[in-house]
Amino acid sequence: MQVESDVVVIGGGMAGLVAAAVALDAGLSVTVVTRGHGATASSSGAIDILGYLPGAVLPVEIPADGVHTLAMFHPWHPYTLIGLGTTDAGRSADASVAQVSDAIDWFRDRISSAGLEISGSVSETQWPVSVLGTVKPTTLLQSSMVTGSMSTDADATVLFVGLRGLPDLNPRAASSAYSEWCQSTGEGPHRVVGTVVELRSLSQRQALSSIEIAHHLDTDAGRTELTDALVPIVNNTGATHVVLPPVMGVVDSHEARESLETALGCRVIETLGVPPSVPGSRLQAALERMVVSMGGRLLKGHTVQDHRVTDGRITEVTARSRRRSVTVSASAFVLATGKFVGGGIVGDETGLREFLFGLPVFDAQRYLVGDERPSHLTSVRSVTPTGHRVFACGVGTDTMLRPVGVDGDVVYENLFCAGAILAGYNYQTEKSGLGVALVTGHTAGTYAARETKEVM
């Protein structure tokens, strides 16, 4: 089967689908080739732009300031490179912040049209709650996760709710952990309590999953059942904030939250997701709806296994599924296959390598690491402020996110890289994973669209 497209995106996570949507915005035809869900669908549902500077132990207070500092001192970080691509070195830090801010504004608008409300900006750090009762710094949140004044309102009563049969959230442990965190900050709610409720229609199940409950809460009957179970407890405790596990609907968490808040008369908050993540699946589904609604083509269940190159330019890729082979030709290509979870970077005892095009793999300092065993790129200590070197390894690029070789020259003029496959940042310690995917996806899509129009 032969398909023609202006732009081909390889990878169907945050980076790939954002790149596809940007190219579609430019009026181009786009085909996304994806073998299945990767890290985005398993994520917490929050989009971290920058939680910590490299090596730091204290979180970034304002993401914009963090990105600006990062761009001044870390030349190979993706945020730095995209800033250098738009201006001279003296003003690149400001340009990096502007690029990040523009990508966020664009994303909030487009994903809202796909039915997912996102809150946040580069001007503030948000502190969502996990199922453990701990908090973490992030930038963008699904509206169901926004805590608002919960941690600063001295008159608030916070009620952590567990669901019988669902092990994800232990309300007693979570409420205790949250209380300890509030005490460490010197402010917090008047009272934090926990309770367990039962959804009787699901009580016959031996073990419930968050996905099952979320589907149940997508229905009026499910939301009514949960409301009936919570009303007497909310009234007895005087709860002003109710914290639920990450189960607030697979399809529409905004509607579920509003329905529950209206019935309970208090703020309802969803915790961050844990794999298999309902908020992550919700984000993935919204991204796919966004691309499809804009006219994009999704080839799901296909793995790119071959490509053709003419005069230093990729002209087509061949993807295969169980039943067919599809060859897609295009003027520009975006590589967004992820790192280890997505399979973009693979490793064994001989070293690390980029799976599809055989591109060289570098570390955060742009040293070639393709011949090093992955175990040699890890630290003896499992948890350190600097993290493991292996997680910062990936494909090196120029300021237009085109892959470069050992000599620094661009390998393919019409290939643009985005997301976790990039070298130069450690998503685990920085808390920047989906943020880098969003921003570099936006940038790669812009350059891919520009490249396509230049050769038309």
Q: Which residues contact 319 (CB under 8 A, 6 or more apart)?
A: 33, 299, 302, 303, 304, 305, 325, 326, 327, 328
pLDDT given at position 370: 87
Predicted model pTM: 0.96
Length of the chain: 456
Euclidean distance between CA atoms 244 and 158, whole angstroms = 11
Question: Under a CB-based contact definition with an 8 Å cutoff, are residues 361 and 368 in contact?
Answer: yes
Q: What are the CA-CA distances from residue 44 to residues 129, 245, 284, 405 (Å)?
A: 11, 12, 11, 34
Euclidean distance between CA atoms 51 and 137, whole angstroms = 5
SS (H, E, C) 69-115: HHHHHCCCCHHHHHHHCCCCHHHHHHHHHHHHHHHHHHHHHHHHHCC
Question: Under a CB-based contact definition with an 8 Å cutoff, are residues 434 and 416 in contact?
Answer: no
Cis link prior to 276 (omega < 30° from 0)?
A: yes
pLDDT given at position 37: 86
Euclidean distance between CA atoms 329 and 197, whole angstroms = 55
pLDDT given at position 89: 66
Query: Which parts of the chain register pLDDT below 70?
Result: 89
